[in-house]
Structure 1
């Protein structure tokens, strides 16, 4: 038996769908609080020393956290080539805006304290806010558009991809609702991190803003579900589903005539995802008011896990539906790389992903403890 046949093609596709979800959740629960701190920076810190406290809670870890985004992009590129091709071409301007915003972050971290000028530092603080707010909003808007279907199609003759949407077409009401939910979710997470890692006025203000953000997560997540039930049509596959066939989306028949909530009736265990999203946000709100610092961060992570998982299980087996040609929609079963490619990548991931997790855990253990004003004003030069 050939080695890669130890795991059948169907199982490998499912495993890589799960791995993609793990990487996206990993990015949201790690780099998510970095983005949230950037969003909160103008509000929780009112003087330069306080802003430095907030920045130094994420300064030593943001680069490592961003690795999860790179891993997610790499996984899409290697494991789901059609998904990468459609999403990065169709969302090109949106992704470019995200890239510009993310580029602002490292520049702001490095240059903010190079001059004592209040105006100079204030401008870089604005850059950090943009670097947190813009990606948070656009990622959510992208998810909202994916749930509604993206205007792309494949040419049957040569499988060329044609994207027929516009940038401003992405800014529809439901997508903007998802964008606001994303901003609220990561703001809540950023506040949970500041409550744990800072002290004094910064932590107190973060507690207040975090409470508001957690409440908004509950409301917006509920509104998103209502909208999904009554305002957004899901997609269904009407032909036989071949789970181990070639990666050709056009071999199936699909239509936009279902509901994204149908999976919960078929597989009741999937309700774990939205329940975790709601309970995590509710528990975060309670914990942050009760000053349970570690609990607040853990419950915030639970909410993020639940919200992102809800999208995945609601759409399964679709990963990118087409609004203009449902037959071109990409699913778990017809948009992956080859059997051998998925197996080799799985072996590599099984070796290196645990190392990344272990190293990350060690870094957080070394950096454990609160950041205070005395540390950032120390003349040793180790603080941002």
Structure 2
């Protein structure tokens, strides 16, 4: 218990905020290229053999990659229960659509080659495209809505209340800025998927992936820059009105919050966070140049840097806010008032310290074993995909 006493409540909240961001970045870096490859399938593969090549490039790893999504969801549930409760209450239909798409994708991978019928395979290829592109879009839309503020308020007993029916809640999420962030998300992951295909394939598939990935990178860079300009000029930020108890009770109504200024004022308060958007832009530039020049590993590493920077820039810009409310700013959830107890966070940290290295080592071993390009011989030898 000495370490428990040494790590303050404030420190544990900061650590778990950082770990939550790392888990989401890990999901985007791994399962993100799976989604990008699935979204590219109709455009880079013209024959059945080419489509099977594309699917074989992700078939052995997609299952392990989704572990990061499960870990992220579990971390929110245990470390940030108010965030889990409020977000699932308001985004229920959107969450259901994401989960349905994530279920559709592996079913398509497993079932498309069960029959040699071209119509059968074409339908499952379309399902794989939808199951990959839809989550990429919806995750980006969700991020845009978080930056804009979510229409919820908390009652004195901390029950979340949203206005309107379920369908109306979904339609309210499709705001122009949220759609812009959705486009950034899709184009970013398509670029990431193209970088993966440039490593795993050769021939026409690789050439098409390089061309489309270059275009996707340009769209991602332009959308990311435009999103920053919109945040600077048209979206109000959030701020505390007084002193904040960083080790205070987990009650969002304990502190007072107002909408004022811009989210980008965070860069004046904490100039060092500029490293995140710089990583985003430089990573995209490196990935584009790598795709054009045919530098496979460099392209993939630059794509990873871009994804990390773009996602990190959102969390660092919003800090300490996690889920702001645009109808009652005082109900906004932050790092300092939406966590589990001190003991819970500590016990979870011990578990994370034990199991995270094991997950990382196993993941590294899997990628080492499966490294190399997928060939037509591999496709013919493994007819299950």
Instruction: Assess if the C-alpha contact under 8 Å between 1:375 and 1:383 holds in 2.
Output: no
Residue by residue over 1:328-355, the C-alpha shift from the partner in whole angstroms, topping out at 9 and shown as x without a partner, is 0000000000000000000000110111
TM superposition shift of 1:382: 5.9
What's the counterpart of residue 249 of structure 1?
252
Please tell me whether residue 9 in structure 1 is matched to residue 9 in structure 2: yes
Give the whole-Å Cα distance in 1 for the aligned partners of 2:241 and 2:130. Answer: 44
Please tell me whether residue 332 in structure 1 is matched to residue 335 in structure 2: yes
What's the counterpart of residue 160 of structure 2?
161
Task: State the TM-score, normalizing by the size of structure 1.
Answer: 0.98
**1:314-329 maps to which residues of 2 (within 5 A)?**
314-329=317-332
TM superposition shift of 1:6: 2.0
Give the whole-Å Cα distance in 2 for the aligned partners of 1:160 and 1:210. Answer: 45
Give the whole-Å Cα distance in 2 for the aligned partners of 1:285 and 1:3. Answer: 46
Instruction: Assess if the C-alpha contact under 8 Å between 1:214 and 1:281 holds in 2.
Output: yes
Give the whole-Å Cα distance in 2 for the aligned partners of 1:290 and 1:211. Answer: 11
**1:178-327 maps to which residues of 2 (within 5 A)?**
178-327=181-330
Instruction: Assess if the C-alpha contact under 8 Å between 1:56 and 1:383 holds in 2.
Output: no
Give the whole-Å Cα distance in 1 for the aligned partners of 2:162 and 2:32. Answer: 30
Unaligned runs of 5+ in 1: none
Give the whole-Å Cα distance in 2 for the aligned partners of 1:299 and 1:164. Answer: 42
SS in 1 for 2:238: strand
- Structure 1 stretches of at least 4 aligned residues deviating more than 4 Å after TM superposition: none
Instruction: Assess if the C-alpha contact under 8 Å between 2:113 and 2:384 holds in 1.
Output: no
Give the whole-Å Cα distance in 1 for the aligned partners of 2:247 and 2:295. Answer: 48
SS in 2 for 1:264: helix
How many matched pairs? 381
Instruction: Assess if the C-alpha contact under 8 Å between 1:228 and 1:260 holds in 2.
Output: yes
Give the whole-Å Cα distance in 2 for the aligned partners of 1:287 and 1:191. Answer: 11
Give the whole-Å Cα distance in 2 for the aligned partners of 1:262 and 1:28. Answer: 27
What's the counterpart of residue 147 of structure 1?
147
Unaligned runs of 5+ in 2: none
TM superposition shift of 1:3: 4.8
Please tell me whether residue 341 in structure 1 is matched to residue 344 in structure 2: yes
SS in 1 for 2:263: coil
Task: State the TM-score, normalizing by the size of structure 2.
Answer: 0.98
Give the whole-Å Cα distance in 1 for the aligned partners of 2:335 and 2:209. Answer: 40
**1:122-133 maps to which residues of 2 (within 5 A)?**
122-133=122-133
Give the whole-Å Cα distance in 2 for the aligned partners of 1:169 and 1:382. Answer: 45
TM superposition shift of 1:164: 2.1
Give the whole-Å Cα distance in 1 for the aligned partners of 2:383 and 2:244. Answer: 57
What's the counterpart of residue 74 of structure 2?
74
What's the counterpart of residue 36 of structure 2?
36
